[in-house]
Amino acid sequence: MNNVLLVGSGAREVAIAKKIKKSRGPLSLFCIAPSTNPQIKPLTVSYFERSLRDVDEVVSLAKKLSIDIAIVGPENPLEIGLVDALEEGGILCVGPRKSVAKIETSKAFARNILDLCDPEKNPERMEFSSLVGVKSFLKNLGEQYVIKCDGLMGGKGVKVSGEHLNSIHESLSYAKSIVDSGGTFLIEEKFLGEEFSLMSFCDGTYCAHMPAVQDHKRVFDGDVGPNTGGMGTYSFANHSLPFLSKEDIAAAQKTNERVALELYKQTGEKFRGVLYGGFMLTSSGVKVIEYNARFGDPEAVNVLSILETDFMDICKAIVSGSLKDLKIVFSRKATVCKYAVPEGYPNKPSRDFEVVCNTSLDGLYLAAVQEKNGVLTATGSRTAAFIGIDRDIVVAERVAEKGVGSIGGKLFHRKDIGTSALISRRVKHMKDVLS
C-alpha cells in the first residue's frame, strides 16, 4: 500500500497528511481537493485541484495514479458515494460508504439507528416536512427544544430554544424557512448538560476509541452566538474530561460500538473509518446529540497530534478488518486547539483579505485559505487553527492562545477555550445539573 490518496484540504486534512508523512513505511502521498492547502502540498508527490462533487473524475484520477488506499476527510464526498465508487474501482478506503455515512448525513436516520441499539440515549423527537403539528409538539416539549434542519449544514443548521429561538413565533418562522426551501427538519427535546466528542477508529465490527475532546460550537466567548463548525477544542492528559466519570466515557464508547454493529446489521455494509459520537452528559446520563462519519475538525488536530501508533498501520487495520489486533496508543498530554475565523463568521464572513502567518510553525493548521504568488488570502470559512500540546493544560492553552493570536488578518478567535476559568465553569455547570 504505497500510494496513498488524501481527499480534502482543511485543517483536519493537514493533521492527517502530517501523520501519513510520519508513517515509517515507504509511501507516496497524493491529494485531491477543491483548493490547494499550502501546508499539504509540500507533503505530496502531486496535488490535484478537483471538485469533489465530480466522483467519476476523482475515481478516474485515483486509478491513473495507481492509488492503493484513500483516506477521505470531509463529509460531503461521503454523502454522494465517493467511497462506494472508489471501492468499486478497486481502491481501499478509510471512510464509510454512502449507506452507512447516513449516520451523519441524515439526522433522522441516526436517531432511528439509535432507537434500535441504544434507545435511552435518544431525545424525545419528531420529524416534520411541513408546519402541521409543529406548534403543539413545541408546547409538548415544555418549550425546551432544538430544531435541526435534516442534511449536511456544516454545523450551522441547528437552533436551540432560549438561545437562538426566543419565542414560538421565531421557531415557527425558522421551521417555515426550512419548509420553504424544500427541506425537512427534526424537533428534539433540549438536553441540559456538558457536551463531549468521542471518536473511534472503526473497521465495521470493532471500535478503537480515541481520547474524549470538548468542542465549542458557539461562535463567541461564553458560548453565545450562532452555531459554527467548531471554534476550538481541548483534551486532557488522562484522555477524559474533568466533568466525566469513567462510567460516562465507557457509556459513550459502548454507544459507538453498538451503532457500528447496528449499521452493519441494518445495511449489510461495514462502517470503515472514524465514527464520531457527539454526546451530552445530563442528569439522566449520557445522551447522543449527533453522529458524524469522519474525524472532527478540529478534533482531528487534537487527537492525531498525540497519536503514537503509526497512522498508516491503523488505516491498514481498518480496511483489512483487523483493528482489534492493533494496540493504539495516545500520549498522555493535554491539547488545546483554537480556530481563527474571519470577522463576521459564520453568517457574513469577510473574505479575500490577506492572512499573515509563518506556515512552517509546528502548531499551525491552515484551513480556508488560498495562496497566490506567496500571499495567503482567506476564503471565508474557518481560516487557521493553532494547537498547544503539553502535559499541563494551562501551558497548552497559553501556547494555543499565543499561536492563534499571532495570525494576522481580519480574524477573531475565542479566547476562553481551554482556560482554567472556562473549565471550572464546565465542572460547576455539570455539578449543578447533576445535583
Residue ranges in contact with ligand GLY by CB under 6 A: 155, 215, 229-230, 292, 296-297, 299
Distances 103 to 20, 51, 125, 152 between C-alpha atoms, Å: 26, 24, 17, 11
429 touching ligand AMP, by CB under 6 A: no
Q: Nearer Cβ to ligand GLY, position 171 or 235?
A: 235
State the minimum distance, in angstroms, from the CB of residue 127 to ligand AMP: 14
Contact characters 284-323, ligand AMP, x per CB under 6 A? -----xx---------------------------------
| Residue 297: contacted member of ligand GLY, ligand AMP, none (CB under 5 to 8 Å, by partner type) | ligand GLY
Q: Nearer Cβ to ligand AMP, position 216 or 338?
A: 216
Q: Is residue 409 packed enough to be buried (19+ CB in 10 Å), middle (13-18) or exposed (0-12)?
A: buried
State the minimum distance, in angstroms, from the CB of residue 379 to ligand GLY: 18
What residues numbered 189-248 form the site for ligand AMP, per CB under 6 A? 190-191, 195, 217, 227
- Span interacting with ligand AMP, options 63-71, 184-192, 317-325, 353-361, rule CB under 6 A: 184-192
How many Cα neighbours within 13 Å face the side chain of 117? 21
- The residues, ordered by sequence, that sit 6+ positions from 60 with a Cβ below 8 Å of its Cβ are none
- The residues, ordered by sequence, that sit 6+ positions from 22 with a Cβ below 8 Å of its Cβ are 310, 311
Query: Judged by CB under 6 A, which of 15, 138, 160, 202 binds ligand AMP?
Result: 160
| Residue 123: contacted member of ligand AMP, ligand GLY, none (CB under 5 to 8 Å, by partner type) | ligand AMP
In this structure, the strands spanning 28-33 and 3-7 are parallel
Contact characters 241-280, ligand AMP, x per CB under 6 A? -------------------------------------x--
Rounded CA gap, 340 and 407, in Å?
8
How many CB atoms sit inside 10 A of residue 49's CB? 11
Of 300, 158, 292, 154, nearest to 229 by C-alpha is 154
Rounded CA gap, 371 and 38, in Å?
7
State the minimum distance, in angstroms, from the CB of residue 296 to ligand GLY: 4
Q: Please report the sign of the dihedral spanned by the C-alpha atoms of residue 11, residue 16, residue 21, residue 27.
A: negative
- Span interacting with ligand AMP, options 13-21, 29-37, 40-48, 152-160, rule CB under 6 A: 152-160
